Amino acid sequence: MCLSVRAVILSAVERTVENGKIQNTMKKIAVIGAGTMGNGIAHVFAQNGFQVHLIDIAQTSLDKGMATITKNLDRMMAKEAIDQAKKDTTLGNISTFTNMKEGVSQVDLVVEAATENLDIKLKIFKDLDEACQADTILATNTSSISITQIAAATQRPEKVIGMHFMNPVPIMKLVEIIRGYSTSDKVTETIMELSKKLGKTPTEVNDYPGFVANRILMPMINEAIETLYNGVAGVQEIDMVMKLGMAHPMGPLQLADFIGLDVCLSILNVMYNGFKNPKYAPCPLLVNMVMAGKLGVKSGEGFYDYSESRKAEQVSSQFK
């Protein structure tokens, strides 16, 4: 047999063994934060047979998170995508904790999905490094914070990686896998394989501000806000051009409301500061809206008014 063919077969065998090892060893996962993203991540792992420890500092967030998972499973049952038994085993695979140390002590992987704030994340990763077993992989779902900086808060930077799920997690296929400066090949491969096991499509990218998803998305959203700010067109007209003209399922202003205008502002600031390039400077209108507490769907008003419906049907009175 030619050497190169043998090498390819051997490497495939090694991969299979490696995959087998992943399947056998990765059983228990902790998810930190039970908010919008955390409950979706817990749902997807639990539905795929993993034991999930869902952890939040607030019991109310855990209760709300579990109620959302139950509602989403009921919706899947109504569409006959799963049966009652699957719903019951999925819920049975999730335990909730308010004590992080207790929840992470025996797990193979932690996926952190707490509030997007550098100090909060650095403290969580320092504590995780002390509380977790030496071989536990520590992943973060951050939208924009440097994986390298988060990894530097631990003594295991080679085992720290970005696992950026998209919202809503049970539906969206992509997971952006971000390698920090020191993330090892083995950890990257393990997380890529694991994402596939969840039925997702992982894409590997490097650790620079905004990674890939937000580096491309946020300037588009910012430009849509700038277009509105300059009086080129109204809210519905801007969204309509992108929906019908570019086949986007949602217009950029509606999408900004859905993501949260505070989140958009924070990501733009990370890119602006990280690249020192004015093209990422947030539009003054976005800054004003965040200061006024108009954060989009979660606050009831952004570019649209959500007081009567969570759908973007009514343009906010500010923009009529």
Residues that bind ligand NAD (CB under 6 A): 32-38, 55-58, 61, 100, 113-116, 120, 124, 141-143, 164, 167, 259, 263
Min dist. Cβ of residue 25 to ligand NAD (A)? 25
Residue nearest to ligand NAD (CB): 35
Min dist. Cβ of residue 39 to ligand NAD (A)? 8
Q: What is the DSSP letter of 236?
A: H
Min dist. Cβ of residue 297 to ligand NAD (A)? 10
Query: What are all long-range contacts of 73-82, with beta carbons under 8 Å and residues at least 24 apart?
Result: 73/43, 76/170, 82/47
Burial of 172 (0-12, 13-18, 19+ CB in 10 A): middle
d(CA 137, CA 29): 10
Which residues, in sequence order, are CB contacts of 107 under 8 Å at separation 6+?
A: 28, 29, 30, 53, 132, 133, 136
Which residues, in sequence order, are CB contacts of 131 under 8 Å at separation 6+?
A: 100, 101, 104, 105
Q: What does the radius of gyration of the chain's CA atoms come to, in whole angstroms?
A: 21
Please, which residue, 167 or 288, has the CB nearer to ligand NAD? 167
